[in-house]
Amino acid sequence: MRPRTLALAAAIAVLPLTAVSLGVSAAQAAPVPHATPRVALPNTVNPAVAHSEKKGDVPAEQQISVAVSLKLRNSDALDRFLTAVATPGAPEFGKYLTPEQFTARFGPTQQDVDQVKAYLTAQGLTVADVSANRQVVTAHGTTAQISQAFGTHESSYLDPQLQRAFFANDAAASIPADLASVVQGVSGLDNHAVRKTHLAKPNAVTPNAATATPSGMSPAQYDGAYNLNKTGADGTGTTVALWEFDGYQSSNLTTYDSQFGLTGPAVTTVSVDGANYDSAPGQGQGEVELDSEIVRGAAPKATQLVYEAPNNDQGEIDMANKIVADNKASVISISWGSCEPDTTAASMTAVDNAFKQAAAQGISIFSASGDDGSRDCTRSTSGSTVKAVDFPASSPHQTGVGGTNLKVGSSNTYSSESAWSTAGGGVSTVFSKPSWQTGTGVSGTMRTVPDVASNADPASGFSIYTAGGWQVYGGTSAAAPLWSGYAAQFNQKAKAAGQSALGEASPKLYSVANSSSYGSTFHDVTTGANQDFSAKAGYDQVTGWGSPVADALTTALLGSSGTTPPPTGGCTAAQLIGNGGFETGTAAPWTTSSGVVDNSSSQPAHSGSWKAWLDGYGSTHTDTLSQTVSVPTGCASATLTFWLHIDTAETGSTAYDTLTLQANGTKLKTWSNVNAAAGYVQQTVDLTSFAGQTVTLKFTGTEDGSNQTSFVIDDVALNVK
Q: pLDDT tens digits for 659-716?
A: 999 999 889 999 999 999 999 999 999 998 888 888 899 999 999 999 999 999 999 9
* Same-domain check for residues 603 and 555: no
The stretch 319-327 carries a mean pLDDT of 97
Q: Which of 361, 377, 374 is nearest to 402 (CA)?
A: 374
* Same-domain check for residues 20 and 151: yes
Residue 379, domain member (yes or no): yes
Q: Which of 463, 514, 146 is nearest to 297 (CA)?
A: 463
Q: Which of 177, 182, 148 is nearest to 39 (CA)?
A: 177
How far, in Å, are 444, 556, 576, 641 from residue 429 at the CA level? Answer: 12, 33, 35, 44
The stretch 200-222 carries a mean pLDDT of 77
Whether the predicted model's global pTM rises above the 0.85 cut: no
Angle between helices 99-106 and 75-85 (to 10 degrees): 140
Residue 8, domain member (yes or no): no
The stretch 438-449 carries a mean pLDDT of 93
* Same-domain check for residues 332 and 471: yes
**By percentage, how much of the chain surpasses pLDDT 90?**
79
Q: Which of 144, 171, 187 is the last residue of a domain?
A: 187
Q: Would you call 26 exposed, middle or buried from its count of C-beta atoms within 10 A (0-12, 13-18, 19+)?
A: exposed
Q: Which of 170, 187, 204 is the last residue of a domain?
A: 187
Position 199 scores a pLDDT of: 54
Is 70 exceeded by the pLDDT of residue 434? yes
User: 3-state DSSP: the chain helix, strand, coil percent, rounded to 5?
Assistant: 25, 30, 45
Position 560 scores a pLDDT of: 67
* Same-domain check for residues 226 and 161: no
Is 70 exceeded by the pLDDT of residue 24? no
Domain encompassing residue 360: 219-562
Least reliable range by pLDDT among 184-198, 238-252, 505-519, 615-629: 184-198
Question: 28: which residues sit within 8 A by CB, 6+ positions away?
Answer: 57, 58, 59, 60, 143, 144, 147, 153, 154
- Tell me the three state secondary structure of residue 437: coil
* Same-domain check for residues 592 and 446: no
**Predicted confidence band of residue 198 (pLDDT cuts 50, 70, 90):** very low
Cα gap 305→268, rounded to integer Å: 5
Q: Which of 165, 187, 209 is the last residue of a domain?
A: 187
Beta-ladder partners of 239: 303
Domain count, the chain: 3
CA angle 436, 44, 197 (to 5 degrees): 75
> What CATH number does the domain containing 456 carry?
3.40.50.200
pLDDT digits (tens, 9 = 90+) for 220-263: 999 999 999 999 999 999 999 999 999 999 999 999 999 999 99
Question: At 492, which amino acid appears?
Answer: Q
Residue 550 or 205, more confident:
550
**By percentage, how much of the chain surpasses pLDDT 70?**
92
Position 631 scores a pLDDT of: 86
- Tell me the three state secondary structure of residue 480: helix
Residue 585, domain member (yes or no): yes
Give phi and psi for 647, each to the nearest 5.
-115, 130
Helix residue ranges per DSSP H, 205-344: 219-225, 250-260, 285-298, 313-326
Check if the beta carbon of residue 335 is closer than 8 Å to that of residue 403: no
**Predicted confidence band of residue 7 (pLDDT cuts 50, 70, 90):** very low
- Pairing type for strands 331-334 and 522-523 reads unpaired
Is 60 exceeded by the pLDDT of residue 207? no
pLDDT digits (tens, 9 = 90+) for 580-591: 999 888 888 899
The stretch 442-462 carries a mean pLDDT of 96
**E strand or H helix at 346, and its extent?**
helix 345-361
